[in-house]
Amino acid sequence: MSLSWLDDEDAAAVEKTRVLRPLKAIRAKCLDCCCGSVKEVRLCPSRSCFLWPYRMGTRPTSKVAQAANEAAQMAEAER
């Protein structure tokens, strides 16, 4: 798996330990889900996916978390 999307410090840490930090692991999973496309991860429409708020590899803002909660509630109501 290419680690080109990691900054130099994170890439060096991964090379040394072979372990990604949790947010970076989620980012890697989302890139895998979108065939490596950074743009497709950003545009992911699956707001009910539990990884969605974390897909950019950072802690979500309260606004993003609220959007994910609302989407999850709507998806739950449709079941």
Summarize as ranges the residues that interact with ligand SF4 (CB under 6 A): 29-30, 33-34, 41, 44, 46, 49, 51-52, 55
Tokens 């996916």 correspond to 49
CB of 68 to ligand SF4, least distance (A): 9
Six-digit token string for 10: 């994170």
Please, what is the Cα angle at 26 between 21 and 31, to 5 degrees?
125
Residue among 12 and 46 whose Cβ is closer to ligand SF4: 46
Residue among 12 and 38 whose Cβ is closer to ligand SF4: 38
Quick one: DSSP state of residue 55?
Answer: T
Residue among 19 and 35 whose Cβ is closer to ligand SF4: 35
How many other C-beta atoms lie within 10 A of the C-beta of residue 67?
A: 15
CB of 77 to ligand SF4, least distance (A): 20
